[in-house]
């Protein structure tokens, strides 16, 4: 566990990287408005890894993509809430966060890949098949770190080279750089890019980075491609890395390696990570805190320890019990019967009530709220609320066995 998980409340705002508040994302569909994400709130502290788990279709990817405004609109719509983001500078000089949902598009483009990076489930689709690996990783340096490219330049680099480092060269300049006296300088720039790309790849423990740089995506295995994606994502030293099921398409043996790598690099770079997965045993390995999502809502948040050893929400308990393990007898696996409910005009009720063994009448009538959402522990279930607060009889409160399942 890193220290971030137990941050004292007073430090909360200063140490945050991002804070999602009441995020709502809706989709226009033929059948009606689909509430894919419906009031999600959680924080990510500096240097912390937060896991987001839940069944297919519960809104994990939509939440993640909202950070970078990657939801296609239409049919999608940011229907409410905010995602506050503190960059390193903002944290250093105590200035206000930006709201990722409302900043101008040009700012979001600058934040993407630079301050917030994302790796996806299918590395094959995220890489351009027509470009060599070198070009794809170099792209990040050109786009966001052109100053670094010129950092070790002795003397003042000519403006042509400055523009080349930012990929802003005109046609004429390209031609000019093929001839002396600019040629040697252009070569130096290229060598510098090569060095940085090589370093970034080497950091992901790819064997022989120089050879990989010259290859094309189809020549690499899935695990290698995912390493390239990670190199690309971490090249700019982002404040936040969003990993959306980065190992789902990989074999278990490779998956373990990639997970280890993400963990190491995260420690080395002090990057915060939002790690999305449907696999509980994976998030347990890598996350400080875990948010369990169900049907567009957060069901429960807590430290990894709390979630695994003292799960409170019936859904969390069900998920944990359903993982086949040494403790089970054949045919006696605990299952959560039924399916995820319809997300089109969801009624005011606990979304889990159709599958919850503890559900009572009030669960069908009143929508439970997540009791606070800071760095602490919270759960959205009536079983943990006093009858006075809800204004119902004590007998109506779901009686959960409060000790861990």
Partner 1 sequence: MTAVRDEPLAPEPGVDSAPVITVRGVRKYFPIREGVLQKVVGHVRAVDGVSFEIPRGETLGLVGESGCGKTTLGRCIAGLTDATDGGIYFRLAESDRLFLDEMDAVPEAERTLQHQARIEAIDLAHRIDRMKGDSWRSYRRNCQFVFQDAFSSLNPRQLVKDIVGRPLKVYKEASGPELTDRVVDLLQSVGMGRQHLYRYPHEFSGGQRQRISIARALALEPEFIVLDEPTSALDVSVQSQILNLLHELQQERGLTYLFITHDLGVVRLMSDDIVVMYLGEVMERATASELFAAPRHPYTEALLAANPDLLEGDEEAEMRGLEGTVPDPARPPQGCRFHTRCPAAIPQCGWEVDDAVAWLADNSTTLDELSGVERASEFDAAVRFRDSDAAAEAKALLEGPEVSAPMQGALLALSASGAELRIQFTEVDPVELEDVGEGHLTSCILHTSRSTHL
Partner 2 sequence: MVDSTAPGTTLAPAVSGPLAVRLRRAGELSREVLRNPTTFLGLIIIVGLITMAALAPVLTEPNTPDAYQMPRDWGAINEPPGTPGHIFGTTSTGGDVFYGVVWGARTSLRMSMIVVGFTVVFGTAMGSIAGFVGGRVDEIIMRIVDVLLAIPELIFALAIAAVLGPSFANIIFALSVVFWVKYARIIRGQIIHVKQNDYVDSARVVGDSKFNIYRKDVLPNSVTPVVVQATLDMGGIVLVGATLSFIGLAEAGLAEWGVLVSEGQAGISSGRWWASTIPGAMVFLWALAFNLLGDGLRDVLDPRTGGR
Residues that bind partner 1 (CB under 8 A): 55-56, 207-208, 210-211, 221, 223-224, 251-260, 278-281, 284-285, 304-305, 308, 318-320, 322-328, 330-337, 339-340
DSSP 98-131: EETTTS-HHHHHHHBTTTEEEE-S-HHHHS-TTS
Q: Which strand (E) or helix (H) includes residue 120? A: none
Query: In 10 A of CB 174, how many CB atoms?
Result: 12
32 touches partner 2 by CB under 8 A: no
- The smaller minimum CB distance to ligand SF4, of residues 112 and 313, is found at 313
> Minimal distance in Å, beta carbon 280 to partner 2?
21
Query: In 10 A of CB 114, how many CB atoms?
Result: 18
- Residue 391 near which of partner 2, ligand ATP, partner 1, none (CB within 5-8 Å, type-dependent): none
- Yes or no: say if 245 and 277 are a contact pair by the CB < 8 Å rule: yes
For 16, 20, 85, the CA distances from 41, given in Å and listed in that order, are 14, 5, 13
Instruction: Find out whether the peptide bond into 181 is cis, omega within 30 degrees of 0.
Output: yes
- The smaller minimum CB distance to ligand ATP, of residues 62 and 241, is found at 62
- Yes or no: say if 94 and 34 are a contact pair by the CB < 8 Å rule: no
319 touches partner 2 by CB under 8 A: no
Give the tokens for residue 120.
């996806």
169 touches Mg ion by CB under 5 A: no
Half-sphere exposure of 269 (CA within 13 A, CB side): 26
Q: Mask: binding to ligand SF4, 322-361, rule CB under 6 A, as x and -?
A: ----------------------------x-xx--x-xx--
> Minimal distance in Å, beta carbon 335 to partner 2?
11
> Minimal distance in Å, beta carbon 352 to partner 2?
13
Tally of helices (H runs) and strands (E runs) in the chain: 17, 11
Give the footprint of Mg ion on residues 52-91 (CB under 5 A).
Answer: 61
Give the footprint of ligand SF4 on residues 271-330 (CB under 6 A).
Answer: 314
Give the footprint of ligand ATP on residues 38-67 (CB under 6 A).
Answer: 54, 56-62
E-only strand ranges, 218-271:
240-244
> Minimal distance in Å, beta carbon 72 to partner 2?
12
277 touches Mg ion by CB under 5 A: no
- The smaller minimum CB distance to ligand ATP, of residues 58 and 68, is found at 58
Q: Which of 304, 302, 308, 325 is nearest to 374 (CA)?
A: 302
With CB under 8 A as the contact rule, the residue among 143, 185, 305, 354 that binds partner 2 is 354
Q: Which residues bind partner 2 (CB under 8 A)?
A: 57, 337-343, 354
């Amino acid at each position: 566990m890193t220290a971030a998980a137990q941050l004292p409340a007073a430090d909360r705002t200063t140490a945050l990287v991002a804070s999602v508040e009441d995020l709502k994302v809706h989709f226009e569909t033929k059948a009606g408005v689909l509430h894919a994400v419906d009031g999600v709130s959680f924080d990510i502290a500096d240097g912390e890894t937060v896991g987001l788990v839940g069944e297919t279709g519960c809104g994990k990817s939509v939440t993640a993509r909202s950070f970078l405004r990657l939801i296609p609109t239409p049919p999608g719509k940011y229907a409410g809430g905010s995602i506050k983001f503190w960059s390193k500078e903002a944290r250093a000089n105590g200035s206000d966060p930006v709201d990722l949902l409302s900043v101008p598009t040009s700012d979001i483009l600058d934040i993407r890949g630079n301050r917030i990076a994302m790796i996806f489930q299918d590395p094959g689709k995220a890489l351009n098949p027509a470009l060599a690996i070198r070009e794809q990783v170099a792209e990040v340096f050109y786009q966001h770190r052109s100053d670094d490219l010129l950092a070790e330049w002795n003397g003042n680099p000519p403006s042509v080279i400055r523009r080349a480092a930012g990929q802003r060269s005109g046609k004429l300049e390209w031609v000019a750089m093929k001839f002396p006296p600019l040629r040697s300088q252009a070569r130096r720039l290229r060598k510098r890019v090569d060095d940085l790309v090589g370093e970034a790849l080497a950091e992901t423990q790819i064997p022989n980075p120089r050879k990989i740089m010259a290859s094309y995506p189809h020549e690499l295995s899935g695990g290698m491609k995912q390493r390239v994606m990670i190199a690309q994502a971490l090249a700019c030293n982002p404040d936040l890395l969003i990993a959306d099921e980065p190992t789902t398409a990989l074999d278990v043996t490779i998956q373990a390696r990639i997970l280890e790598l993400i963990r190491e690099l995260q420690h080395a770079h002090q990057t915060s990570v939002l790690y999305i997965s449907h696999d509980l045993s994976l998030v347990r390995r890598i996350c400080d805190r875990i948010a369990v999502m169900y049907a567009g809502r957060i069901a429960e948040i807590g430290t990894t320890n709390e979630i695994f050893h003292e799960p409170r929400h019936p859904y969390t308990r069900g998920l944990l019990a359903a993982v086949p393990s040494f403790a089970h007898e054949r045919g006696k696996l605990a299952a959560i019967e039924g399916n995820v409910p319809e997300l089109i005009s969801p009624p005011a009720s606990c979304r889990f009530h159709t599958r919850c063994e503890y559900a009572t009448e009030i669960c069908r009538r009143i929508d439970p709220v997540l009791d606070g959402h800071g760095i602490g522990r919270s759960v959205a279930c009536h079983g943990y609320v006093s009858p006075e607060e809800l204004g119902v009889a004590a007998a109506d409160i779901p009686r959960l066995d409060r000790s861990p399942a």
